[in-house]
């Protein structure tokens, strides 16, 4: 018996050895050191932000379509093809793949089942971008996805969109197991690639899935796409990626959900005269045949698919080493290299600031930032930020301060995502606002460290808080947290609510808990969730724990209660799980104050569509602050908060030091709410502005204007009071109130510019802006950042409302530019946008042609933008019509096209032209311009008649393909109804007020 047992053991060992050798041979086969092998060296976000990144509709499979590579057949390429460096699979015949061609109906969910979970993508990709016709560009790739089975199953479900699958096989990672050839099915609606196996995949086991594929290099700004720039008469191509939010599946079969993190090992094959970039550092380059080079990149950290990135181009880099020993590189076109110095210096400082702020070192040895010719916004890919060239373009004496501020803000925003978005990511797109809202606010905190003289923390109120309040005052708004169940739902999350309101809520939370607790709470969250995912409750819990450690509690105004730590989740849920926000009404009661809250709505008669319900009955936990004419305290903190509770009960404050003077709530507008008062207090505030406006903080002066006008629009305050808040502006010396007034006056101009009282309104405003213009003058020599911005702002508004001195200055300056024979622009860089706009507005064809030529020939990104935007100011219908046709072609970059449409729509002559173009070419527009939900509010902003309203409703009802723009049209309908009501209620009041002016 013992001999038999020993014999059986010997046989088993022999069998195991045979299988082991077979497995090793298979591994050696896939790891062999041929130059074009992909299996050995591997390496592997995001807003705006709609999708700001690409078109979901363009991602459908074509079931039977002949292409330059062969035939599509449910996404599969059916004919093997030789490449320029050898056969696609290095001499191997493609493994037979069985497939079905019937789309699979898997219900309504767009989520993956995740029975298997990837931990490594070993990707090789080779773009073919060398044909004469860009429509023939394509790429080939192969990927090994190592994954672990979480639940036993007979199928692997992952994403693939518009990819031609040429070969698939599955290899169990345990020794001695046979290769599995799956059957392929496609769900073309959900963009699922389904690999069905007859052999069960066992929970706890690991598998390698080998997929070979190819696909087109597209012209849409999503997935792997190509853009161009001109070098003399030559067209130079750039291939780049935009994976967020769900376009990685256009480039590689993958588990394309933000929570599914893995490492990526990338090999990029390119021609020798080009360079490639990816998320991580390049470990080596191998020369192949026919001038091909294979660049191998180190493994990335665990990260989401939407952060995968690569670029193939001929750019140059400017390199610096940060104080923390990180290589920071800026990549630009060779001709734009001299424009990258500021960004290079700025980026290293901001990166170092974030390392200190988050108390967490940068995780990669390098950070690349590349400015490409055509891109929608910017994208925070880990280790390789990609953004449009103009967002990196700054040259002293050639670029304005407002553009410098824009460049600073964009890079600060994107770099913050390294920690908040990349290292810790949203578990699903319904918490996108955590990423984008936090980055939108913290960018200003970083700017305050780098350029504190700009007062960025005050500027944030005007730039982000007040626009968010305007947007969120509509019945068609939505909560910050909204369950997302469709691609259109994902697209719709990239909006003002996620970015501006999200950031405003974080700013308010920082005020509630204090700067130190806020910062330490974020550090705690990052440590607890590093390389993982989070939801909003995780954020609240981290701040709750930190608040307890720091001893934060409800303050002295809640003395009647026992000590109670801050209920961060209870507070923040009222701001994130219901839409809109409150108005606090503040009034005297004897020697004290009474506070009450109510829901703010622009139109209280608007019909609630019932899309969202409030779990709190539209009551909020409000951190209220105030000061009085007696106290004048505009430097308050968390200890000064008066809590108004979500039960909606009024709050009484006894013995307030106010006397008979004014009082004002929401100090520095830290809270996301409006404040209203009895009319006598409004009058006292206005009198204070007229007597000595400097007594009130500049942010609160801006808030007075913003709140008064918004409350007047909603019918909660007399329009006469709102108008009176403008009467002191001729004495104002701060940017912030002028900015706030400018936004409100844009609305008034939209409503009244076609009426008989617009001339009187313009005369009043021209008179208002004349004194500060006289004080500031036209010379920027020796001025600081804020003074330059103020001069530009005042000059722009003066020209807009017909100040003849300003108009003459602009026309003469532009004529000097047109006749100048040198290469130096004689117009002050801070005044160019005003001069260009006014010259085109009051000029003719010659001026317009000169500006358009400047757009096509200038090498400076900021200058190109100034010229092309000035072209939108012409009052000539023929020129505008021709211009609008141009933006539907490649003569104007797509990234510029939407902004051009937006600006032409603000032109009273151009507005009906844009509306006509939009409604008669919708299918073309929604394909070419992917963020139309941002454009629609601008196009319809001037609509204030019953005919206008009917026009929007008719189009919405007749158009089945609105996609993510549906909510934008709902908002347009609601806003137009409010505009009609505003005209009915306020036209005569404004007319009478204008007649009372001296």
3-state secondary structure at position 549: helix
Q: Is the pLDDT score of 930 beyond 70?
A: no
How does strand 384-388 pair with strand 366-372? Answer: parallel
Cβ–Cβ under 8 Å, residues 17 and 11:
no
State the average pLDDT over residues 14-21. Answer: 41
Q: What CA dihedral angle connects 865, 870, 876 and 877, to 10 degrees?
A: 40
In Å, how far are 4, 22, 736 from 15, measured between CA atoms? 17, 11, 80
pLDDT of residue 554: 76
Per-domain residue ranges of the chain: 32-314, 409-581, 902-998
List the single range of 97-106, 283-292, 542-551, 664-673 with lowest mean pLDDT. 97-106
Q: Is the pLDDT score of 747 beyond 70?
A: yes
State the average pLDDT over residues 419-429. Answer: 97
Q: Clarify whether 212 is annotated catalytic.
A: no
Token couple for 381: 């890919």
Torsional class of 212: left (φ above 0), alpha (ψ -120 to 50), beta (otherwise): beta
Cβ–Cβ under 8 Å, residues 729 and 701:
no
State the average pLDDT over residues 600-604. Answer: 95
pLDDT of residue 91: 31
Q: Is the pLDDT score of 923 beyond 80?
A: yes
Residue 629 DSSP code = T
3-state secondary structure at position 513: helix
3-state secondary structure at position 385: strand
Cβ–Cβ under 8 Å, residues 686 and 679:
no
How does strand 292-297 pair with strand 282-287? Answer: antiparallel
Strand partners of residue 328:
320, 367
State the average pLDDT over residues 759-778. Answer: 93
Give the burial class of 889: count Cβ atoms within 10 A of its Cβ; 0-12 exposed, 13-18 middle, 19 or more buried: exposed
Closest CA to 421 of 539, 298, 579, 545: 539
Peptide bond into 245 cis (omega under 30): yes
Starting at the edge strand found earlier in the chain, the sheet holding 592-599 runs 651-653, 592-599, 582-589, 674-676
Give me the sign of the Cα torsion angle 510, 513, 516, 518: negative
Tens-place pLDDT, residues 497-529: 999 999 999 999 999 999 999 999 999 999 999
Tens-place pLDDT, residues 829-848: 999 999 999 999 999 999 99
Q: Where are the alpha helices (DSSP H) in 338-486?
A: 341-358, 401-416, 432-450, 456-460, 466-471
pLDDT of residue 563: 61
Tens-place pLDDT, residues 431-462: 999 999 999 999 999 999 999 999 999 999 99
List the single range of 66-80, 369-383, 751-765, 798-812 with lowest mean pLDDT. 66-80
Q: Is the pLDDT score of 86 beyond 90?
A: no
Q: Domain 409-581's class? A: mainly alpha
Annotated binding-site residue? 693: no
CATH of 32-314, one of 3.40.50.970, 2.60.40.1730, 3.30.300.30, 2.10.70.10: 2.60.40.1730
Strand partners of residue 976:
none
How does strand 582-589 pair with strand 674-676? Answer: parallel
Torsional class of 565: left (φ above 0), alpha (ψ -120 to 50), beta (otherwise): beta
> What Rg, from alpha-carbon coordinates, does the chain have?
30
Q: Is the pLDDT score of 866 beyond 50?
A: yes
**b vs e for 125-157, b when ≥16 Cβ sit within 10 Å of the residue's Cβ?**
bbbbbeeeebeebbbbbbbbbbbebeeebeebb
pLDDT of residue 557: 52
Name residues whose C-beta falls within 8 Å of residue 77's C-beta, 6 or more positions apart in sequence.
69, 70, 71, 164, 165, 166, 213, 214
Give the burial class of 30: count Cβ atoms within 10 A of its Cβ; 0-12 exposed, 13-18 middle, 19 or more buried: middle
Cα separation, 827 vs 820, in Å, equals 11
Token couple for 843: 């000029």
pLDDT band of residue 887 (cuts 50, 70, 90) is confident
Tell me the percentage of the chain whose pLDDT exceeds 90.
76
Closest CA to 606 of 714, 445, 475: 475
Question: H or E stretch including 504?
Answer: helix 502-513
List the single range of 58-62, 226-230, 375-379 with lowest mean pLDDT. 58-62
Annotated binding-site residue? 785: no
Give the burial class of 15: count Cβ atoms within 10 A of its Cβ; 0-12 exposed, 13-18 middle, 19 or more buried: exposed
Tens-place pLDDT, residues 727-740: 999 999 999 999 99
Give me the sign of the Cα torsion angle 688, 689, 691, 697: positive
Residue given tokens 């409503």 in the structure block: 751
Cα separation, 899 vs 668, in Å, equals 31
Q: Is the pLDDT score of 72 beyond 50?
A: no
Which of 257, 414, 830, 863 is catalytic? The answer is 414
Closest CA to 575 of 484, 509, 665, 496: 509
Tens-place pLDDT, residues 702-734: 999 999 999 999 999 999 999 999 999 999 999
Cα separation, 224 vs 221, in Å, equals 8
3-state secondary structure at position 231: strand
Cα separation, 811 vs 385, in Å, equals 40
Tens-place pLDDT, residues 243-272: 999 999 999 999 999 999 999 999 999 999
Segment of 64-68, 135-139, 582-586, 610-614 carrying the highest mean pLDDT: 582-586
Cα separation, 542 vs 540, in Å, equals 6
pLDDT band of residue 142 (cuts 50, 70, 90) is very high
pLDDT of residue 46: 32
pLDDT of residue 630: 94
Q: Is the pLDDT score of 885 beyond 70?
A: yes
Q: Which residue has the higher pLDDT, 959 or 680?
A: 680
Same fold, 32-314 and 409-581: no
**b vs e for 496-531, b when ≥16 Cβ sit within 10 Å of the residue's Cβ?**
bbbbbbbbbbbbbbbbbbbeebbbbbbbbbbeebee
Mean pLDDT of the chain: 88
Name residues whose C-beta falls within 8 Å of residue 552's C-beta, 6 or more positions apart in sequence.
513, 514, 517, 565, 566, 638
Question: H or E stretch including 275?
Answer: strand 275-278
Q: Where are the beta strands (DSSP E) in 34-176?
A: 64-67, 70-73, 76-77, 82-83, 86-87, 98-99, 116-128, 138-149, 153-159, 164-172
Tens-place pLDDT, residues 526-577: 999 999 999 999 999 999 999 999 988 876 455 444 567 899 999 999 999 9
Cα separation, 815 vs 813, in Å, equals 5
pLDDT of residue 925: 86
pLDDT of residue 60: 28
State the average pLDDT over residues 25-44. Answer: 33
Annotated binding-site residue? 898: no
pLDDT of residue 562: 55
């Amino acid at each position: 018996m013992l001999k038999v047992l020993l014999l059986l053991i010997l046989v088993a060992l022999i069998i195991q050895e045979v299988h082991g050798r077979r497995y090793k041979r298979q591994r050696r086969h896939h790891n062999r050191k041929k130059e074009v092998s992909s299996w050995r060296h591997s390496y592997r976000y995001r807003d705006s932000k709609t999708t700001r990144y690409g078109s979901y509709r363009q991602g459908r499979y074509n079931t039977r379509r002949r292409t330059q590579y062969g035939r599509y057949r449910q996404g599969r390429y059916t004919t093997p093809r030789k490449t320029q460096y050898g056969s696609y699979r290095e001499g191997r015949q493609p493994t037979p793949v069985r497939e079905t061609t019937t789309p699979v109906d898997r219900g309504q969910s767009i989520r993956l089942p995740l029975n298997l979970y990837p931990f490594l993508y070993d990707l090789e990709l080779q773009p073919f971008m060398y044909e004469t016709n860009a429509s023939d560009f394509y790429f080939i790739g192969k990927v090994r996805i190592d994954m672990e089975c979480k639940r036993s199953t007979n199928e692997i479900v992952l994403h693939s969109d518009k990819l031609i699958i040429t070969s698939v096989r599955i290899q169990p990672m345990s020794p001695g197991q046979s290769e599995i050839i799956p059957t392929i099915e496609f769900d073309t609606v959900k963009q699922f690639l389904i690999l069905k196996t007859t052999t069960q995949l066992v929970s706890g086991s690991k598998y390698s899935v080998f997929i070979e594929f190819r696909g087109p290099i597209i012209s849409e700004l999503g997935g792997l796409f190509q853009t161009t720039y001109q070098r003399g008469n030559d067209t130079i191509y750039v291939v780049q990626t935009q994976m967020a939010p769900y376009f990685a599946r256009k480039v590689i079969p993958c588990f394309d959900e933000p929570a599914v993190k893995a490492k990526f090992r990338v090999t990029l094959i390119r021609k020798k005269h080009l360079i490639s970039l990816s998320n991580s550092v390049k470990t080596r380059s191998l020369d192949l045949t026919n001038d091909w080079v294979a660049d191998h990149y180190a493994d990335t950290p665990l990260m989401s698919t939407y952060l995968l990135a690569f670029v193939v181009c001929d750019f140059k880099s400017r390199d610096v080493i940060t104080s923390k020993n990180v290589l920071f590189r800026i990549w630009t076109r060779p001709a734009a290299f001299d424009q990258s110095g500021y960004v290079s210096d700025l980026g290293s400082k901001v990166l170092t600031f974030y390392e200190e702020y988050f108390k967490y070192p940068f995780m990669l040895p390098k950070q690349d930032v590349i400015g490409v010719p055509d891109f929608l916004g910017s994208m925070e890919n880990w280790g390789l930020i990609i953004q449009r060239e103009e967002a990196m373009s700054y040259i002293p004496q050639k670029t304005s301060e407002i553009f410098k501020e824009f460049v600073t803000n964009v890079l600060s925003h994107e770099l913050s995502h390294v920690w908040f978005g990349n290292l810790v990511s949203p578990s699903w797109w319904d918490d996108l606002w955590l990423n984008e809202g936090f980055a939108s606010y913290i960018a200003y905190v970083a700017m305050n460290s780098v350029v504190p003289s700009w007062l960025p923390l005050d500027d944030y109120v005007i730039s982000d808080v007040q626009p968010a309040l305007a947007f969120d005052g509509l019945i068609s708004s939505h909560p910050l947290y909204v369950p997302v169940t469709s691609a259109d739902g994902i697209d719709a999350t990239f909006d003002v609510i996620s970015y501006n309101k999200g950031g405003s809520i974080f700013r308010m939370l920082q005020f509630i808990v204090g700067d130190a607790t806020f910062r330490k709470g974020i550090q705690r969250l990052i440590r607890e969730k590093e390389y993982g995912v989070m939801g909003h409750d995780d954020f609240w819990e981290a701040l709750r724990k930190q608040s307890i450690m720091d001893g934060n509690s409800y303050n002295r105004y809640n003395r009647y209660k026992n000590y109670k730590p801050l209920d961060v989740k209870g507070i923040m849920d009222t701001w994130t799980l219901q839409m809109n926000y409150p108005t606090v009404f503040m009034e005297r009661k004897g020697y004290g104050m009474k506070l009450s809250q109510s829901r703010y709505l622009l139109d209280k008669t608007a019909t609630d569509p019932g899309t969202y319900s409030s779990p709190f009955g539209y009551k909020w936990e409000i951190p209220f602050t105030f000061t009085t004419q007696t106290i004048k305290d505009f430097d308050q903190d968390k200890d000064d908060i008066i809590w108004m509770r979500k039960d909606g009960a009024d709050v009484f404050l006894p013995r307030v030091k106010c006397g008979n003077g004014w009082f004002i709530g929401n100090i520095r507008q830290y809270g996301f709410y409006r404040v209203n008062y009895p009319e006598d207090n409004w009058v006292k505030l206005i009198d204070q502005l007229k007597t000595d406006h400097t007594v009130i903080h500049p942010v609160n002066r801006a808030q007075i204007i913003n709140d008064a006008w918004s409350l007047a629009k909603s019918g909660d305050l007399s329009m006469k009071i709102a108008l009176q808040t403008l009467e002191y502006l001729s004495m104002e010396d701060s940017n912030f109130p002028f900015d706030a007034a400018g936004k409100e006056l844009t609305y008034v101009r939209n409503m009244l510019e076609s009426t008989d009282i617009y001339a009187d309104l313009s005369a009043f405003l021209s008179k208002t802006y004349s004194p500060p213009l006289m004080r500031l003058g036209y010379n920027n020599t020796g001025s600081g950042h804020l003074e330059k911005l103020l001069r530009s702002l005042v000059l722009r508004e003066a020209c807009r409302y017909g100040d003849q001195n300003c108009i003459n200055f602009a026309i003469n300056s532009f004529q000097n530019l047109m006749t100048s024979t040198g290469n130096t622009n004689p117009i002050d860089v801070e005044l160019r946008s005003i001069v260009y706009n006014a010259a085109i507005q009051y000029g003719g064809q010659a001026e317009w042609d000169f500006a358009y030529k400047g757009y096509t020939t200038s090498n400076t990104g900021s200058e190109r933008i100034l010229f092309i935007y000035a072209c939108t100011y012409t009052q000539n219908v023929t020129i505008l019509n021709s211009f609008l046709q141009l933006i539907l072609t490649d003569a104007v970059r797509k990234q510029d096209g939407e902004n051009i449409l937006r600006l032409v729509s603000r032109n009273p002559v151009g507005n009906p032209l844009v509306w006509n173009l939009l409604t008669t070419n919708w299918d073309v527009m929604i394909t070419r311009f992917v963020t139309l939900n941002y454009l629609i509010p601008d196009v319809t902003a001037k609509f204030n008649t019953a005919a206008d309203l009917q026009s929007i409703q008719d189009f919405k009802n007749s158009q089945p393909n609105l996609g993510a723009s549906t909510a934008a049209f709902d908002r347009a309908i609601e806003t137009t109804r409010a505009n009609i009501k505003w005209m009915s209620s306020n036209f005569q009041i404004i007319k009478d007020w204008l007649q009372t002016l001296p």
